[in-house]
Structure 1
Amino acid sequence: MEFILLGFSDRPDLQWILFGIFLFLYLTTLMCNSVIILLTKADVALHTPMYFFLSNFSFLEICYVTATIPRMLMDLCTQKGNISFLACAAQMFFVLTLGSTECLLLTAMAYDRYVAICQPLLYTLIMNHNVCLQLVAVSWISGIPVQIVQIYQIFSLPFCGSNEINDFFCDFPPIFKLACGNTFNNEIEAYFIVVLFVVVPFFLIIVSYGKIISSILKIASGRGRVKAFSTCSSHLIVVVLFYGTASITYLHQKADPCKGIGKLLSLFYTILIPTLNPIIYTLRNKDINSSLRKLLLLI
């Protein structure tokens, strides 16, 4: 009828310290991403496709951390990790769906930068408002039916024996370990979905940036090359952090299933990266900084 999220029960002496740290990270993520959304809506100079995608990305990060941190904070506060069957399925659905959305949205942002740098004369024609809306809609919606089917099949498996999940949120690898039936078909399906929503978008991003870098290198002016690269450097850093930490987390779990290090990597991937993303965009983006200064002067 329920699972038990072990979380950080192996360190009861650090419960309240961890509670304070994660609460601070959560509030920071909410505040920074909310400021970016506010700036992109309020400043007319930021009403461009790039900042339209950025505002959606910031809203996505808010949703993504909200799917995991509040539950973890409650478990740290009560020192109980009981989670119902339905709540575990719901949390897994939101985490996987929002993760799929992030991969697709990062791909759409890479395509936007490709058109801006490689086809600047056609940029306003190609990246018109309808195209931007369609790209964002596909990013948000396409993962929903796929994840509904996957979650239904995972939680239709028979569970017996231990009901303890050695993690701080519900994810499919630890759930598979608790199933007493044959999970081979479910695992194949899960990895196929990973290829569809993670590997393929990452390949498209690599292709886009390959063409972007090739076009930048052809610019004769050194200042022109720096200016062109600065328009996509923040997005490139976010892509490297997101896919890099996700890959390290997955490979570490396969190669060396050390439970403590695995949780640390999961924390970095699911919590710290969404906190860093708005800071990266703010620090490296002159338009955002200029708009933020205008807002502060008005306040």
Structure 2
Amino acid sequence: MNDSSRRDFLKTCALIGAAMKLGPFVGQEALAATTGPALSIAHFRSSPATADAIAAEARRLTQEAVNGLGGMGRFISKGDVVWIKPNIGWNRVPEQAATTNPDVVATLVSLSYQAGARRVIVSDNSCNPSVACFARSGIQQAAQKAGADCFTMEDRKFRKTNLNGKALPAWELYGDVLCVNKFINVPIVKHHGLCKATLGMKNLMGVAGGQRNRFHQDLTNTLVDLATFIRPTLVVMDAIRVLTANGPVGGNLADVKRKDTVAAGTDQVAIDAFGATLLGYKPQEIGYVMEGHARRLGTIDFESLKPRRIEAG
């Protein structure tokens, strides 16, 4: 980052820091003046087997899902600083479906730059040692090749932030996340032993620090508290492969199923409700999805949004 860009970035941080005293960080101001579909679902008719073909599928479906909403230009403007938040929580390879598909992430980086982004950051607060997770997931290499800054989080940069939530009055969040003006949440669909499913709102735990095991004492409310504060500009859900059991860590390829799908949307609750169905659950079976709906963060009835469905491949 050059000196001018750094000054602009620090000014943005200062403005957002002041805004935090008044209310949540909302990374979707560009949507206020635009209209368009709220949910887009892209699916491959075939299920390619080779690594190169799966990578091409991931890129194609990500592009199609975002285009189904009107294109990345609906969300990203010239000069934006964008944080892309995949799941890089575990020391797993992409085939094990515990981390977000690296080609989905790289495509979003490229689309953000094409739409005019000045800087794109890719990071996550890993559960396993970060350096190993970033490398083995394939995300760091793919993101950097696409032009993103991809780095592990530093403990010193987490700061206590007022969330005013039901279960989380305040929590340590990564300061740099609060200094961007666009935030794209990129979860992978997978099973979770406590809350049944790791989806978009669950993926937001990767911007939190501190003793995150405390979240698990009341995931129904802690996740919605966090989602109410963060409010991504866009959610892009990776379901090329899904982890159907023994999540969130996985490891057994027998637990991985191909769904050959990428969904994109602006309604956190709706996209999580759709994701739940890919694991065989009714959305009403996922506590935090129900709570998000009850708090009017979004709708659990994703079909009511008339999702744009795209068949490819």
Q: Radius of gyration: which is bigger?
A: 1
More helix by share: 1
Structure with higher strand content: 2
- TM-score, normalised to structure 1, is 0.28
